[in-house]
């Protein structure tokens, strides 16, 4: 009985840590998405070639980071039994951000 109680407590602690990590990743996706929007505005208004190169490189790195977060969110979702979770929200948010960045990337091709 004590062992079962300890296992339940351990599971609860793991779930709290997991939710905290997912919440941090959600915040990161939001800030990265905002940064992409700022990059787009800078790109539109500058004529400095070096700045344009840096903006393009930063945009690529942000895209890669959000791709990694999206992969992590899918792994977490597969391990969850529930359909509505923070990890599902993270997956949805990161997928939408990736789509937004892909659309924004067309700007850099002009």
43's enclosing H/E stretch is helix 2-45
Write down the domain spans for the chain: 34-110
Q: What residues in the chain have per-residue pLDDT under 70?
A: 1-18, 82-83, 104-110
Instruction: Give pLDDT, residue 10.
Output: 52
Question: How many Å apart are CA 11 and CA 80, to the nearest integer?
Answer: 13
Instruction: Give pLDDT, residue 34.
Output: 94
Instruction: Give pLDDT, residue 65.
Output: 95
Instruction: Give pLDDT, residue 86.
Output: 81
Q: Return the structure tokens found at 33.
A: 């998405």
Taking the whole predicted model, whether its pTM rises above 0.95 is answered as no
Residue-wise burial string across 24-34, b where 16 or more C-beta atoms lie within 10 A, e elsewhere: ebbeebeebbe
Q: Look up the CATH architecture of domain 34-110.
A: Up-down Bundle (1.20)
Are residues 99 and 32 in contact, defined by beta-carbon separation less than 8 angstroms? no
> In terms of Cα–Cα distance, which of 2, 3, 70, 76 is closest to 32?
70
């Amino acid at each position: 009985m004590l062992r079962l109680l300890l296992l339940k407590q351990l599971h609860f602690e793991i779930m709290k840590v997991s939710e905290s990590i997912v919440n941090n990743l959600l915040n990161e996706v939001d800030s990265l998405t905002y940064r992409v929007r700022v990059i787009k505005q800078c790109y539109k208004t500058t004529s400095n070639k070096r700045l344009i190169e840096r903006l393009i490189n930063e945009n690529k790195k942000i895209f890669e980071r959000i791709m990694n977060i999206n992969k992590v969110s899918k792994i977490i979702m597969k391990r969850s039994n529930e359909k509505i979770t923070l990890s599902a929200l993270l997956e949805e948010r990161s997928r939408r951000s990736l789509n937004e960045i892909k659309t924004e990337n067309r700007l850099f091709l002009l």
